[in-house]
């Protein structure tokens, strides 16, 4: 009985994690989505004429406007983000493969619970590695910011600078939705 409860709980956790990953977009990075694409809103990036780098550039543009980044800060942050993306590409590909195998198992008439448990463990390990890598990247970026920029970034929390550029409105900043901290002196105000 306990084993059955464990398996059901594990399956639910995997399904929830997979749903979150699918919502984030292709291979968990988002960026190339269209509401007109049908179920889930995903489209091929080539069809939408965008790519992951385009998403990173838009994300960096928002950071530049909100934080008032200097040209040198922007270049260093872009290098950090590019290195992070390249380092995590194998993890993202492995995650996509595990999700595919989990999907196959969930659509099978004969569920192999041992296989699902193995896949769930693999997915958990991959997610852990990705979380650590993302925290490392964010720490490197934070270290490049001035104290005032750090204050603004802290006020924004994770809502404005997360992966896939979750952007405005997903996690309300202090003061509520649609309101941002005052930009650094000389920076353009951001209009949502």
Under CATH, which architecture does the 53-165 domain have? Answer: Up-down Bundle (1.20)
Selected residue with higher pLDDT from 18 and 43: 18
Confidence (pLDDT) at 15: 58
Question: Per-residue pLDDT tens for 71-95?
Answer: 999 999 999 999 999 999 999 999 9
Q: What angle do CA 110, 116, 121 make, to 5 degrees?
A: 175
Distance CA(39)–CA(95), nearest Å, equals 21
Total-model pTM: 0.56
Contact 27, 88 (CB under 8 A): no
């Amino acid at each position: 009985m306990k084993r059955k409860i464990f398996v059901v709980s594990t399956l639910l956790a995997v399904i929830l994690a997979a749903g979150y990953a699918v919502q984030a977009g292709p291979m968990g990075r988002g960026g190339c989505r269209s509401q007109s694409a049908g179920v889930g809103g995903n489209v091929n990036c080539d069809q939408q004429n965008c790519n992951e780098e385009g998403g990173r550039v838009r994300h960096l543009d928002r950071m530049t406007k909100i934080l008032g980044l200097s040209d040198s800060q922007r270049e260093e942050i872009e290098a950090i983000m590019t290195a992070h993306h390249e380092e995590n590409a194998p993890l993202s590909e492995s995650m996509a493969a595990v999700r595919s195998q989990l999907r196959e198992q969930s659509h099978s008439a004969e569920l192999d619970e041992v296989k699902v448990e193995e896949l769930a463990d693999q997915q958990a390990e991959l997610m852990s590695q990705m979380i650590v890598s993302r925290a490392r990247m964010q720490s490197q970026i934070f270290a490049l910011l001035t104290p005032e920029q750090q204050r603004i970034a802290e006020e924004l929390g994770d809502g404005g600078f997360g992966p896939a550029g979750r952007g405005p409105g997903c996690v309300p900043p202090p003061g509520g939705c649609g309101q941002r901290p005052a930009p650094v002196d000389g920076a353009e105000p951001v209009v949502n």
